C-alpha cells in the first residue's frame, strides 16, 4: 500500500550561500522522545492499549536467549491501559492540570544498533501536557450535528427495544416515523428518507420477532454508516486546540556495550494557539551527548506558524549556549581535552505555496546554528518545487 | 464501521411511594454519545436526566435506557456507560457497562431495560 509516496522530482535550487540539511521545525517537542534521543525511527513500533497486550509486547521484545531485540520501539499511554467509566466527555475535553497530565502522559522506549560504532543502544522517554488549551468551536457544531443524527438512531432503537407479538416490519417502520415526527421535530423530508431506507432494507428480513429485531439493527447500522464522515470530523476536531498548551518531554539514551548513559534531553514547550493553524510557541530544551566528545546544548526559542488554505509560513528564532569537550593534542603532542563554550543562534523563515493538489513551491531562508565541531557557513536559502508522483490515497481494489 | 448492540436487563426495586424516580446516564472513557430514557414506549427525555414519576406511575412498567456511544478518540477504543436511578437520597447504580470496539469510529448501542417492581 502506498500511503505517502511523495517525491521531490524537480528541485531547482538557488544556492545563495551554503546549503545544509534543515529540520522541518526546531521548535517542537519530539513526538517520541526515546526515538528522538537515539536519532532513529524504529522499523516496528508497538502501541499496547491494555495491560495484557503490554505484557505480551514486552515479552515479545526479547529473543529466545533473553536478549532484547533491536530496532524496536514501544509507546505506551499508561492512563489508557484501563477503562475510565467516570471520565466524561466534558472532563476529557477540558481537563484540569492533573487530568491533562494523566491523559497525555506517554512513555516511549526504543532499541537501536548504532550504524557507525555497532553499539547497541536503548532509549527511554516520556512526554506529557499540563495544559491542553480549549476545544475549537467547530467541534461543538460537529458534535451537535452528530447528536441530531444519533437521535434518529436512538428512536429506532427505542422501537427495537419494545418490539412484541403482533409487530410487523411495516408497523415498526410506521412507529419509527410517528415517533420521529412527534418527538424529535425532524422535517418530513428526513422522516421520509428514513422510511424509504427502512422499506429497502425490510425486504431482506422476515416477520418473526427476531427478524424484526435484525431488521431494526440493520437500519441502525445503515444510518450509522451514513454518518461516518461526520464521526471522522468529530474525531479530528477533538485534537484541534486553541489557547494555551504547555508540554514537557524528557529522554535518555543508554549504550549497553559501554554500559553508560550517553545522552539525555529535556524539552519544554509553551504554545498559544490563536487557532489550530495559527500559533506562537516558546521552547526551551537541554541536550547532553557524551560519546568521544561531550556536548551540552541549552536552547531557547520562539516561533510562529500560520497555515492557510494554500500556504504555510513559519518564522522561528532560537538561541543556543553550548559547551563542547573534545579530545585534542597540545603543542607537545600530549593528549588534552579541549573545552569550547560559545553562543550561537538560528533564524529561519520558511514558506510554501500550493499551486495545485500535487505541486507546491517551498522557500527557506535563514541562518542555522554554528557547530563547535565543523567550520561552515551557516546561512542557507533554498527554493524548491515539490511534486507528488503518486496519489496520497490508496487506490480501491475492485 | 460497525455497530455493536449490547442488550441488558435488570430490575429496579422502588424504594418509596412518594419520591420522584429520576434516571440519568453517564457516558465514560471520554467518548461522545447520546441517550434516551423511556417508560415503555413513551419517550421521556433525550440527553437529560428523566423524571419518571412516582411509584404508582412506574410500577409494573419498564424503564428503557438507550445509549449510543461513538468511539471518537485515538487514545482508546473503550466505551462505557453507567445508569443511575435516584429516589430521594437513595441512588442505585447500574453498570458501568463496558465494551471495547474493534476499530476506531465504531459505535456501541447499549439498551438497558429496567423492570420497575
The model's pLDDT over A192-231, given as tens digits with 9 standing for 90+, comes to: 888 899 999 988 988 898 999 999 999 999 999 999 999 9
Task: Please answer yes or no on whether A103 and B75 come within 8 Å at the CB atom.
Answer: yes
Q: How far is A150 from chain B (nearest CA, A)?
A: 7
Enumerate the residues of chain B whose CB falls inside 8 A of the CB of residue A143.
32
Q: Where are the beta strands (DSSP E) in chain B?
A: 3-12, 21-27, 32-39, 42-46, 50-53, 62-70, 78-87, 90-100, 107-116
Q: Does B82 touch chain A (CB under 8 A)?
A: yes
Q: At what angle do helices A137-161 and A169-183 cross, to 10 degrees?
A: 140
DSSP A78: G
Burial A23-37 (b: 16+ CB within 10 A, else e): eeebbbbbebbbbbb
CA distance A174 to A180: 10
Enumerate the residues of chain A whose CB falls inside 8 A of the CB of residue B34.
147, 150-151, 154
Q: Place A391 in a pLDDT band, splitting at 50, 70 and 90.
A: low
DSSP A31: S
Task: Specify the long-range contacts of residues A343-346, CB closer than 8 Å, at least 24 apart.
Answer: A343/A319, A344/A320, A344/A369, A344/A370, A344/A378, A345/A317, A345/A318, A345/A319, A345/A320, A345/A369, A346/A26, A346/A301, A346/A316, A346/A317, A346/A318, A346/A320
Q: Does B98 touch chain A (CB under 8 A)?
A: yes
How many CB atoms are located within 10 Å of the residue B55 CB?
16
pLDDT at A22 over 90: no
State which H helix or E strand residue A263 sits in: strand A260-275
To the question of pTM greater than 0.90 for the whole model, the response is: no
Which B residues 31-60 touch A at CB under 8 Å?
31-36, 38, 40-41, 43, 46-47
Mean pLDDT, chain A, as a whole number?
Answer: 85
Please list, in sequence order, all residues whose beta carbon lies within 8 angstroms of the beta carbon of residue A143, skipping any fewer than 6 positions away.
A234, B32
Enumerate the residues of chain B whose CB falls inside 8 A of the CB of residue A49.
76-77
How many CB atoms are located within 10 Å of the residue A272 CB?
15
DSSP A62: B
Task: Please answer yes or no on whether B73 and A228 come within 8 Å at the CB atom.
Answer: no
Task: Per-residue pLDDT tens, chain B, 117 aa: give them.
Answer: 799 999 999 999 999 999 999 999 999 999 999 999 999 988 999 999 999 999 999 999 999 999 999 999 999 999 999 999 999 999 999 989 999 999 999 999 999 999 999
Beta-bridge mates of residue A387: A359
Please list, in sequence order, all residues whose beta carbon lies within 8 angstroms of the beta carbon of residue A59, skipping any fewer than 6 positions away.
none
Amino acid at each position: 500500500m502506498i500511503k505517502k509516496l511523495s517525491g521531490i522530482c524537480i528541485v531547482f535550487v538557488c544556492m545563495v550561500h551554503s546549503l545544509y540539511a534543515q529540520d522541518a521545525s526546531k521548535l517542537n517537542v519530539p513526538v517520541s522522545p526515546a526515538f528522538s534521543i537515539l536519532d532513529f525511527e524504529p522499523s516496528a513500533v508497538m502501541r499496547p492499549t491494555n495491560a495484557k497486550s503490554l505484557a505480551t509486547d514486552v515479552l515479545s521484545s526479547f529473543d529466545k536467549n533473553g536478549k532484547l531485540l533491536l530496532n524496536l520501539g514501544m509507546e505506551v499511554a499508561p492512563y489508557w491501559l484501563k477503562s475510565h467509566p467516570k471520565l466524561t466527555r466534558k472532563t476529557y475535553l477540558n481537563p484540569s492540570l492533573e487530568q491533562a497530565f494523566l491523559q497525555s502522559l506517554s512513555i516511549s522506549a526504543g532499541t537501536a544498533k548504532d550504524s557507525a560504532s555497532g553499539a547497541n543502544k536503548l532509549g527511554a522517554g516520556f512526554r506529557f501536557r499540563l495544559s491542553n488549551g480549549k476545544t475549537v468551536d467547530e467541534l461543538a457544531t460537529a458534535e451537535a450535528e452528530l447528536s441530531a443524527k444519533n437521535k434518529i438512531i436512538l428512536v429506532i432503537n427505542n422501537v427495537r427495544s419494545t418490539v412484541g407479538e403482533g409487530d410487523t416490519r411495516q408497523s415498526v417502520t410506521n412507529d419509527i416515523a410517528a415517533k420521529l415526527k412527534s418527538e424529535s421535530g425532524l422535517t418530513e423530508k428526513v422522516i421520509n428518507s428514513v422510511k424509504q431506507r427502512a422499506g429497502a432494507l425490510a425486504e431482506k428480513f422476515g416477520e418473526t420477532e427476531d427478524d424484526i429485531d435484525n431488521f431494526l439493527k440493520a437500519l441502525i447500522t445503515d444510518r450509522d454508516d451514513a454518518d461516518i464522515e461526520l464521526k471522522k470530523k468529530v474525531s479530528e476536531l477533538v485534537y484541534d486546540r486553541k489557547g494555551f498548551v504547555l508540554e514537557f518531554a524528557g529522554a535518555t539514551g543508554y549504550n549497553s556495550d559501554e554500559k553508560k548513559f550517553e545522552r539525555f534531553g529535556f524539552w519544554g514547550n509553551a504554545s498559544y494557539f490563536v487557532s489550530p493553524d495559527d500559533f506562537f510557541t516558546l521552547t526551551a530544551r537541554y541536550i547532553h551527548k557524551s560519546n568521544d566528545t561531550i556536548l551540552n546544548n541549552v536552547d531557547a526559542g520562539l516561533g510562529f506558524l500560520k497555515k492557510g488554505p494554500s500556504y504555510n509560513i513559519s518564522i522561528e528564532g532560537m538561541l543556543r549556549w553550548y559547551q563542547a569537550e573534545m579530545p585534542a593534542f597540545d603543542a607537545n603532542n600530549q593528549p588534552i581535552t579541549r573545552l569550547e563554550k560559545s553562543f550561537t543562534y538560528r533564524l529561519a523563515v520558511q514558506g510554501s505555496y500550493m499551486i495545485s493538489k500535487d505541486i507546491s513551491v517551498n522557500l527557506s531562508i535563514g541562518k542555522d546554528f554554528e557547530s563547535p565541531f565543523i567550520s561552515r557557513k551557516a546561512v542557507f536559502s533554498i527554493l524548491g518545487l515539490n511534486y507528488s508522483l503518486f496519489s496520497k490515497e490508496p487506490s480501491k481494489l475492485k | 464501521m460497525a455497530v455493536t448492540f449490547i442488550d441488558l436487563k435488570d430490575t429496579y426495586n422502588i424504594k418509596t411511594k412518594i419520591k420522584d424516580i429520576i434516571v440519568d446516564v453517564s457516558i465514560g472513557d471520554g467518548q461522545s454519545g447520546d441517550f434516551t430514557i423511556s417508560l415503555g414506549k413513551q419517550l421521556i427525555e433525550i440527553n437529560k436526566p428523566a423524571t419518571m414519576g412516582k411509584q404508582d406511575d412506574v410500577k409494573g412498567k419498564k424503564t428503557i435506557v438507550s445509549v449510543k456511544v461513538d468511539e471518537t478518540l485515538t487514545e482508546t477504543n473503550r466505551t462505557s456507560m453507567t445508569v443511575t436511578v435516584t429516589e430521594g437520597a437513595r441512588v442505585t447504580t447500574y453498570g458501568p457497562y463496558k465494551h471495547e470496539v474493534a476499530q476506531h469510529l465504531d459505535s456501541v448501542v447499549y439498551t438497558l431495560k429496567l423492570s420497575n417492581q
